[in-house]
Amino acid sequence: MKKIGVAILGLGVVGGGVYKVLTAHREFYMQTQGVDFTVESVVEPRIERIEALGVPKEKVASNVAEAVLNPDVQAVVECIGGVELARRYVLAALKAGKTVVTSNKELITKYSYELERAAKAHNAGLYYEASCVGGVPIIRTLLDGVQSDEITSLMGVISGTANYILTCMEGGNSFEEALAKATKSGITEPDPAADIEGTDAACKLALLSSLAFHTKVSPQKIFRESLGGVTKEDIEDGCRFGYRLKYLAIGRRAHAGLELHVHPAFIKKDHPLANVAGDLNAVYLTGEPVGEVMLLGKGAGEMPTAGAVVSDLIFAATHGEHRYSPYKNTASPDRETAFAEDFASAYFLRVNAADEAGMLSKISAILGRCGIAIESIFKTAKEDGTAKLTLITRPSHERAMKAALAKFAAAGHITVESLIRVAD
C-alpha cells in the first residue's frame, strides 16, 4: 500500500473540503486506488475553522515552512488564494521535492512557467485541475482524454456566477435583481467584478486554450466584454429568433490565428450549451477525429472543487512519472503563434428609428456598405412614431461591424440600442 502524507495550506471553502474528502474517503481510496492518504499537516490561522473540521492539534503547523518541510509530507495542497504569497509557498514546496496541487487559477495563469520549471528541476509534480471549471474534469480530458485529437474549437459556459445571473434574467429578473440573488446565494465573490467583467473567465480560457491548442496563451490575448450591459429585452428579443443568451468563452483555430474571446453571445436553443442553467458549467469541444465532446457539471463549490483537488492527488500518487504542459511553457506567448485580432461572428442588432418608408432600406444599405448582410429581421412599431428593428446578420467581422456602428452614429436618426454576437 502506497502511503502519501498531505499538507493543506488554508482551510477555507476548498481546503476545508479537501480535508473532509481525504478523511471521509480514506478507506475508499485504499481499496480502489491502493493509496493511503493521511493529512499530516495543516496551516490555518483561524482556530474556529480548525475546531469545526476536527483537525487534531498535533497536525496543525505553526507556519508554512513547518508544514512543507515535514518529512512525512509528500504532497502539498495550496488553497490560500492570492498570488504572491501562494507563489512563494508553492515554489518552496516544489524545491523541497514535494508535489503541489492547487486550485489557484490566477497563480497558474501568471506563473505556471516558473512553477513548472521548479517542479521539473526537483522531480516534483504540479497539478491544477481544480483551477478551471471546478468539478468538471476538463484539464484531465485535454491532457489524457483527447490527446489523439487536434482540437479546432472550444466553447464554454465557465462562469457559474454569470450563468446564474442569465438564468435568473430568463425568469424575469433585471440584471441588478439577478446579481443580488447570486450574491445572496453565496456563489459570487465579495466583489463580483471579476465574474461580470470576464477577467475570471479569461484566466480559465487562457489555461484551457494553452492545453487545447498546444501553445502558451495569456489572458491579455483574450478579447473581453462585460455581462453588465445585457437586459431582459435582449433575452426576450433573442428568444423570438430561437436563441438563448449565454456568457461564453470561445477559443478556435482560424485562418488568421487563434481567436479567443469572452462575452455575452446568443446561441441556438438546440445547442447543448443552451440548456446549461443556474450555476452549472460546461465545455464543448470540437476536434478531429473525435468530433464533438461536451463536459457538464458544477463549476464551483466546496465539494466539486475539493474532489478535483483530490483527483489530482490520486493521479500523482498512481503514476510513475509526473505530467507537465504539452506545449512550450514560457513567460510570454510563443512568438510563432498568431493571434487573430479580428474575429468572425454573426450579430444580433437592435436599433430604434423613425417608422417611415425607406428606413429599413437605409439600415440595410449602411450594413451592406460595410459588407454585412441581414439574415432575419423583426419589426415592432411604437406609439411615438418610431419602430424597434431587431435583426440577425449573417457572419461578418468585428471591424466591419465597428464600421457600421460608426455609420449609424453619423446618420443621426438611427439609434443602436443593443449589439450582441451570435455563436455558431
Place of cell 501562494: 86
Place of cell 486550485: 103
Does the annotation count 204 as an active-site position?
yes
Query: Please, are residues 292 and 284 in contact by the beta-carbon 8 Å criterion?
Result: yes
User: 240 CB contacts (<8 Å, ≥6 apart)?
Assistant: 378, 390
User: 354 CB contacts (<8 Å, ≥6 apart)?
Assistant: 385, 386, 387, 413
Which residue, among 61, 113, 62, 109, has the nearest Cα to 91 in the 3D structure?
A: 113
Amino acid at 120: K
Distance CA 264, CA 423 (A): 10
Active-site residue, from 204, 216, 221, 246: 204
C-alpha separations of 132 from 81, 205, 209, 236 in Å: 14, 9, 11, 31
Q: Assign residue 186 a region: left if phi > 0, alpha if psi is -120 to 50, beta otherwise?
A: left
> What residues are labeled active site?
204
